[in-house]
Structure 1
Amino acid sequence: MVGNVKLKQCSIFFLGWIAYGSLYLLRKPVGIVKSDLESDLHFSKSKLGCLDTAFLLPYAVIQIFLGQLGERFGAGKTFGICMCLSGVSMVMFGQVSNYYVMLTLLFLSGSSQSLCWPNATKVVGAWFSETVRNSMFGAYGMCGFAGGLAGTSIAVYLQVHYGWRSMFFTPSIIVIGLGILVTLVYRLPMEQANLCYLTEDPSATTATKQLTDHTPQQYSFITLLKISTVKEVAFGVLCLKVVRYTMFLWLPMYLLNQLNYPKEHAGLFSMAFEVGGLIGSPLIGIILDRYFQHNSLTGVSLSIFLSAISLIFYSVTSSWGMIFNTVFMLLAGAFNCGPDSILTGSHPNKLSAMVAGTGGAAIAGVVNGFGSLGTVVQGPIIGFVSELYGFQAMFYIMIGLSLTGAYTVYTASQQLQHLQNTAAKYHTTVL
């Protein structure tokens, strides 16, 4: 029986890891294809910018309000079907030339992918006990960074050898195939025959075990926001994502124009932040489980604070050469990206077990969706500020946001402590 459970845990984890990571095979080509769309289809730069918004805006908004659809229709099925819908949308995107049809298809793809993360984390989180959940989500969070690197590599290869339209066909077929597999086999423990619901440890108290007996209910967005720590964590994620996407999208230009890196070096060294996230995600998960088991949000707030410190050192030493640039950007990426899967995956699962009648997908949708609004607003804000005050002002904003995010998450950690004390005192769930 134990061996069967271990096998199920491994299969659910790796299928979910590969499946969610594969979605980046669809996201990355949208940025790479812009030069082709400008030259072949004569799209203006403003139109190209709107393509990003067409994907990112529904991705953020829909999961805020509809993340709990997985509670009603099944998290695994919702995850798999949305993967298939996104794949179909992007297959068609690569075949058309009309700008407004492309906008519509990107909107559909963003809408579909918006429900993938909340439901993927609900399923995988249910298969692991709380004692290892941060470590598990830390490793699970690597899929986005690994998928991003793979998505860029595959897209560039297909673009060079087969043309820009091929960048969407092959990755979409991969995503559709994985989506079908997820739909068929990706299930919660309670949906598996002869397997118990594994959200808590076998040694947990009776009162704690009772937390998993509640059937998730449908709550409004406002009601979900009123749950302790949700709005604080959501705002912390927003701060993190503004910083992260600023690094992803503006760092190459900063290295090229401000620090006078050669073009090829600017592109190469701009990946340091993303590589830092790939390393930091599992390491921070392990550290949280080992040293911050009782309240992981305290450790997360410390990590975000250290990301601000790393950015300060990066800003101060930016003219000292590539070695200093790379070291501090790696650290900033590790401390910024590492907590992401904890805040948007591990914490919502923990919170859903503590608050009667709520589901992890609903809470994760609110937290990750609100945070993803940062990806929408960062472009205009950073562009405006850097144009008026220079690139150095961009770092002041990111340092300020990191410090704000650290404080907000620390505030949430104090609320979580109170929530846990209340539950322990009265041996019951709390609303």
Structure 2
Amino acid sequence: MDKANHKFRWVIFASVLVAYLFMSSQRTAPGLITDQLMRDFSVTASTIGLVTSIQFFVYTGLQIPMGLLADRYGPILFLIIGTALTGLGTIIYGVTTHEYVLIFARILTGIGDATIWVNMILVLSMWFNQKEFTRLIGIAGMTGSLGFLLATVPFSVLIVSLGWRGAFFTAGVVLCLCSTWLYFIFVKKANQPLFVKKEGPREKITVLLRRVCLNRQAWALFLCHFGLVGGYIGFIGSWAVPYMIDVYGISRLDASQLVLISLLGALIGAPLIGWLASYLGAIKRTYVVFHLMVLLCWSTFLFFPNHPPFYILIILFFMIGFGFGSNSLTFAIVRQTFPVTESGIVSGFANTGGFLSAVLLPSIFGFILDYFQATSGQIVDGYYYGFFTPVIFAIFGLIGVLFVRVGGTGSLYQLSKRN
């Protein structure tokens, strides 16, 4: 089958995106029921914080191993199993009556979630040519933001209708059905093997990992993702709402609406930036522009000693979300500069950078807030100095994109020799 010219590739694309949509929604959906979990399980906020964050720790830690496995055995098996594990973890989350099982459920969900992005990239690389890939990776990034959006009002309605247990059980069943559908599409209809048997001697994992860790291009892509993802997911997903409540004195509902504005920016930015980079044929220059834009937006918070005017805040939230949509270009550069046989581990390495920053930023920001509240009692000062964190992260991202090489495909070995 000529995959790059076969019409069935669009069925493949749509099927994987639907699975990604529901999987990404389960990253943030538990945040809707924090108070209910504390009441039903009689646990503290710190326990709920552990339950919430454990998925991201697991996800981050598995990105490089998943890239290695995907390169060695192909992406199809891991897509199917990962979707099923996310569904199973979500079902367990909805039916358990013990807090330790809640943690186990989120670990399962994190393992499953860790499979989706790297393997989705490999599937798109196999079924679409380079120009199509650059456009479609933006749509894939938009789907992740749609998943976050799905975990707001729509999932809240489902919780009201079915109760939180019924809502999570239903979401888990849907994900298990998605896993079954992926098996049917890939194995039964497209006649793709679950395992890819590669001929010839296999390189030792330690040798390959060492080469990745010594490769300038891989580290540049790591920093690109580190600079964009942590600021957006880390801040918007943790401190954005408290910031607006504490500093601007608005209600939680109004603050949540501003978060939706940022999500809207990401929804628009991801496909538009992907299309723009493909149309111009200038991935690096496009990426540099949006890294600069995000750095300028975060730096704007430091230009106002108290806080930016509210109308500027709205613009900043939208533009930060819009700029976040450019993060998919990281993987377009991976596709352009590395062969498919090595793009899994490089994609996993780059994605580790993004979610490492998403894990670090809330903790660093929270530490700064605690320090200023304890020493001066002025939480507004804490927020002001806290914004140095996403600014520094964005500087790392800009450094990364400036060191990126584009044009021409070479193996890790060849790129290492050039570097």
- TM-score range for the pair, normalised by the shorter chain length: 0.7 to 0.9
Helix, strand or coil for the counterpart of 1:283?
helix
What is the one-letter code of the residue matched to 2:333?
H
Instruction: Compute the displacement of 1:430 (Å).
Output: 7.9
Correspondent of 1:373 among 346, 356, 371 = 356
Correspondent of 1:329 among 317, 320, 324 = 317
Corresponding residue number in structure 2 for 1:385: 368
Q: Structure 1 stretch 215-224 or stretch 92-101: which is displaced more?
A: 215-224
Corresponding residue number in structure 2 for 1:200: none
Corresponding residue number in structure 2 for 1:409: 401
Correspondences of 1:7-22 after superposition (within 5 Å): 7-22=7-22
Corresponding residue number in structure 2 for 1:147: 147
Q: Distance in 2 between matches of 1:275 and 1:216?
A: 45
Q: Distance in 2 between matches of 1:243 and 1:86?
A: 26
Q: Distance in 2 between matches of 1:191 and 1:314?
A: 53
Corresponding residue number in structure 2 for 1:301: 288
Give TM-score scaled by structure 2 length.
0.86
Corresponding residue number in structure 2 for 1:258: 247
Q: Distance in 2 between matches of 1:192 and 1:164?
A: 38
Q: Structure 2 vs 1, CA of residues 352 and 17 (structure 1 numbering), >3 Å: closer, same or farther? A: same
Corresponding residue number in structure 2 for 1:399: 391
Helix, strand or coil for the counterpart of 2:95?
coil
Correspondences of 1:23-422 after superposition (within 5 Å): 23-186=23-186, 219-220=205-206, 221-244=209-232, 245-293=234-282, 296-313=283-300, 316=303, 321-335=309-323, 337-343=324-330, 345-353=331-339, 358-389=341-372, 390-413=382-405, 416=406, 420=408
Instruction: Compute the displacement of 1:34 (Å).
Output: 1.4
Instruction: Compute the displacement of 1:38 (Å).
Output: 0.8
Q: Distance in 1 between matches of 2:356 and 2:307?
A: 32
Does the Cα contact within 8 Å between 1:71 and 1:216 map onto a contact in 2?
no
Q: Structure 2 vs 1, CA of residues 284 and 218 (structure 1 numbering), >3 Å: closer, same or farther? A: farther
Corresponding residue number in structure 1 for 2:376: none
Instruction: Compute the displacement of 1:228 (Å).
Output: 4.1
Corresponding residue number in structure 1 for 2:375: none
Helix, strand or coil for the counterpart of 2:129?
coil
Corresponding residue number in structure 2 for 1:198: none
Q: Structure 2 vs 1, CA of residues 113 and 253 (structure 1 numbering), >3 Å: closer, same or farther? A: same
What do residues 76-133 of structure 1 show as CA deviations (whole Å, max 9, x unaligned)? 2211111101111210121112111211221122112112211111001222222232
Does the Cα contact within 8 Å between 2:369 and 2:383 map onto a contact in 1?
yes
Does the Cα contact within 8 Å between 1:298 and 1:410 map onto a contact in 2?
no
Q: Structure 1 stretch 169-178 or stretch 389-398: which is displaced more?
A: 389-398
Percent of aligned pairs with the same amino acid = 19
What do residues 257-279 of structure 1 show as CA deviations (whole Å, max 9, x unaligned)? 10112232111112222211111
Q: Structure 1 stretch 114-123 or stretch 216-225: which is displaced more?
A: 216-225
Corresponding residue number in structure 1 for 2:379: none
Instruction: Compute the displacement of 1:421 (Å).
Output: 9.5
Does the Cα contact within 8 Å between 1:217 and 1:359 map onto a contact in 2?
no
Instruction: Compute the displacement of 1:316 (Å).
Output: 4.3
Q: Structure 2 vs 1, CA of residues 122 and 4 (structure 1 numbering), >3 Å: closer, same or farther? A: closer
Helix, strand or coil for the counterpart of 1:325?
helix
Q: Which runs of 5+ in 1 are unaligned?
A: 194-212
Instruction: Compute the displacement of 1:338 (Å).
Output: 1.6
Does the Cα contact within 8 Å between 2:336 and 2:409 map onto a contact in 1?
no
Q: Structure 2 vs 1, CA of residues 215 and 17 (structure 1 numbering), >3 Å: closer, same or farther? A: farther
Give TM-score scaled by structure 1 length.
0.83
Q: Distance in 2 between matches of 1:125 and 1:25?
A: 24
Q: Which runs of 5+ in 2 are unaligned?
A: 194-198, 373-381
What do residues 21-71 of structure 1 show as CA deviations (whole Å, max 9, x unaligned)? 110232232211211111111110111111123211111011222322123
What is the one-letter code of the residue matched to 1:20?
Y
Does the Cα contact within 8 Å between 1:75 and 1:123 map onto a contact in 2?
yes
Q: How many aligned positions are there? A: 397
Q: Distance in 1 between matches of 2:410 and 2:84?
A: 43
